[in-house]
Chains A and B, each alone.
Chain A
Amino acid sequence: QQQVKQSPQSLIVQKGGISIINCAYENTAFDYFPWYQQFPGKGPALLIAIRPDVSEKKEGRFTISFNKSAKQFSLHIMDSQPGDSATYFCAATKVIGSRLTFGEGTQLTVNP
């Protein structure tokens, strides 16, 4: 009920390409779905987040697509850049202050 499954574990993309990372959840009570970006030696930082009342949210080159019926959401990075190389985590939670359940992470490498 609390799991969030993330795929792929690793992803290699050429500069300018589109990076797509997918997550699936089980608990229908989840109502907040953030994506975190983590660079080596640093803590995760919030990248973008979505609530289930919308199907898509875009911030610059980063877009979350949300499919409530399928219980899936994905991160799309358009025009991927080498500086986007990092580990990305999806997460889900129910209410303010509640625990985040994280996916296993995706290590993204963008080649120049």
Chain B
Amino acid sequence: DAGITQSPRHKVTETGTPVTLRCHQTENHRYMYWYRQDPGHGLRLIHYSYGVKDTDKGEVSDGYSVSRSKTEDFLLTLESATSSQTSVYFCAISGRQGGNEQFFGPGTRLTVL
């Protein structure tokens, strides 16, 4: 998985609980992304980062926040989880050699009860 790890890999939580997902890379890529994957919707971008402390919203950012204090770590936070946020979350990285290719992590399956 191109030096990308995600933690946790699985999580079950209750509505209203804060949740933080972590993406860690060892490849020194500049860009990092958080996607969610749902049946019938493909992969939808939540937030992305183009450098340390530089982030921007994607198409489905409501209810999510992110932080990137180091090149290697990109955190996704659900401030108050809702059942509609039950999904599989993927982190991706790109840009080390100036290319477009995005490399994806193994994913985190989140269930909000």
On A, residues with C-beta under 8 Å from B are: 2, 6, 9, 32, 34, 36, 41-46, 49, 89, 93, 96-97, 99-100, 102-105
Contact = CB atoms under 8 A, between A and B. Distances in A.
Contacts, number: 58
Contacts of B42: 6, 89, 102-105
Contacts of A6: 42
B74 interface: no
Interface of B: 1, 4, 30-31, 33, 40-45, 48, 50, 58-59, 90, 92, 94-95, 98-107
A44 B45 CA distance: 14
A36 B78 CA distance: 27
B100 to A, nearest CB: 5
Contacts of B41: 104
B48 A44 contact: no
Q: Is the interface of A mostly helix, strand, loop or mixed?
A: loop
Given A42-B106, A97-B31, A97-B50, A89 B100 contact: no
